[in-house]
Amino acid sequence: MLDKCNKCGSNKLFVEIQGQRRGLYCGECGKWQKWITKEELQIAKFNGLKIIENKEN
Ligand SMILES: [Zn+2]
């Protein structure tokens, strides 16, 4: 599981759920990191990452 932004190195990452996809983004520079699996979402929740549910899609 990625824990740092691959652009700016910040550890302020968050997850945005877009329909069936879950994107990991940097909260500092906004850079998309990767799509994460259901399992990684569980890890993200455990680690206290912010989870945003985008219901627009
Ligand atoms: Zn960043």
DSSP letter for each residue of 17-36: EETTEEEEEETTT--EEEE-
Residue span of the structural domain in which 10 resides? 1-28
Does residue 7 lie within any of the structural domains? yes
Q: How far is the CA of 32 from the centre of ligand 1 (A)?
A: 8
Residue with tokens 């909260």: 27
Task: Quote the pLDDT of residue 3.
Answer: 86
Does residue 45 lie within any of the structural domains? no
Does residue 34 lie within any of the structural domains? no
Q: How far is the CA of 29 from the centre of ligand 1 (A)?
A: 4
Does residue 44 lie within any of the structural domains? no
Q: How far is the CA of 56 from the centre of ligand 1 (A)?
A: 24
Task: Quote the pLDDT of residue 42.
Answer: 96
Task: Quote the pLDDT of residue 57.
Answer: 54
Does residue 16 lie within any of the structural domains? yes
Q: How far is the CA of 12 from the centre of ligand 1 (A)?
A: 8
Q: How far is the CA of 19 from the centre of ligand 1 (A)?
A: 23
1-46 pLDDT, tens per residue? 668 999 999 999 999 999 999 999 999 999 999 999 999 999 999 9
In DSSP terms, 43 is beta-bridged to none
Does residue 18 lie within any of the structural domains? yes
Give the chain's domain count. 1
